[in-house]
Amino acid sequence: MKSKYQVPNLERALKIMEFLSTRPSAVSMAEITRELGYPNNSVFRIVSTLEEYGYLNRDPQSKEFRLSRKLLSLGYQALVETSVIEKSSDLLRSLRDKTGETALLGTLLDGEGVVLEQMPSTAPIKFTVSPGTRFALHTAAPAKAILAFSNDDEVDRQIGLMQFTIFTRRTLRSADGYRKILASVRKTGYATDCEEESEGVSCLAAPIFDYRGHPIAAIWITGPTFRLTTERLDAIASIVIDHASAISVRLGFQDERHTPSE
């Protein structure tokens, strides 16, 4: 029995993607219409929308469609997030205990970041962010930490999505300035946000790598600037980097500073 909540065009879109997944080569719109029995106008609107959002690729000569790798990347991202959270909870707690500040875990989406998990500070004055919270990439320390070690295509793509909204007088305002920051992060191994998004709040982040050496997430601390001064951030950077490295090793990354048992 069909649910009364079904959306016909959404159901058709899913059926079209399932159909394309069974075909070894690209398929024409006429073949999709014939095989699935959907109206030609409906198929045209659906495949055009799926192409616009990157779920289908269309051959410029034959005009035939095939599935893109976006679905694969979404599935991989879901697996990565689950695995990273499972393998980092105790290390988030350790980072919180060693620094006294709120410790967080997050990753990147298209044009923004998302908080996956946190361990709140036990200090009377602290900053906490709920899992699922989105953050701007051009100001956030975790975004800088991840993109500093990403390939050039990914960096270009993410920078192209940035709006460079001005939050404070310290906010970065250009792509060129952002690229210079990424070059600096590659040298130090960590990134900071010193009141770039919120006055009185500072953060320090380090990247987490998967077994292929790709940066897939970041771990960071956040707290009031009167505690996280520039001098203290420099002093505790190695603690954040060590915890990020330990998580990376658990994900299969080969890091000579840690053993898989850590």
pLDDT tens for 145-193 read: 999 999 998 999 899 989 999 999 999 999 999 999 999 999 999 999 9
The pLDDT assigned to 72 comes to 57
Average pLDDT over residues 120-142: 92
Q: Which two tokens stand for residue 175?
A: 């792509």
H/E stretch holding 209 reads strand 201-209
Nearest to 198 by CA among 217, 223, 173: 223
Last residue of a domain, one of 28, 52, 68: 68
Domain shared by 38 and 167, yes or no: no
Report the CATH number that the domain containing residue 218 is assigned in CATH: 3.30.450.40
What span, in angstroms and rounded, lies between the C-alpha atoms of 183 and 218? Answer: 17
* Residue 59 and residue 93 in one domain: no
Q: How sure is the predictor about 262, in pLDDT bands with cuts at 50, 70 and 90?
A: very low
Q: Choose one of 19, 37, 68: the last residue of a domain.
A: 68
Cβ within 8 Å of residue 35, ≥6 positions away:
19
Query: How do residues 202-248 score in pLDDT, each as one tens digit?
Result: 999 999 998 889 999 999 999 999 999 999 999 999 999 999 999 99
* Residue at 94: amino acid letter: S
Q: How confident is the model at residue 194 (pLDDT cuts 50, 70, 90)?
A: very high
Tens of pLDDT along 53-86?
888 988 888 989 988 867 755 655 555 666 788 8
Task: Give the mean pLDDT of the chain.
Answer: 89
Are 220 and 104 part of one and the same domain? yes
* Domain total in the chain: 2
Res 85: pLDDT: 85
Question: Do the domain assignments include residue 25?
Answer: yes
Find the domain containing 150 and state its range.
72-250
Distance of alpha carbon 185 from alpha carbon 237, whole angstroms:
12
Single out the residue in 68, 102, 117 at which a domain terminates.
Answer: 68
Q: Residue written as tokens 């600096």? A: 184
Tell me which of 121-130, 198-207, 219-228, 249-258 is least confident: 249-258
What's the pLDDT tens digit per position in 17-48? 999 988 878 899 999 999 999 999 999 999 99
pLDDT at residue 78 in the model:
59
Closest CA to 199 of 232, 159, 166: 166
> What is the model's pLDDT at position 110?
75
Q: Is residue 261 over pLDDT 50?
A: no
Residues 138 and 158 in one domain: yes
- Quick one: pLDDT at residue 252? 87
- What are the backbone angles phi and psi of residue 5, rounded to the nearest 5°? -95, 5
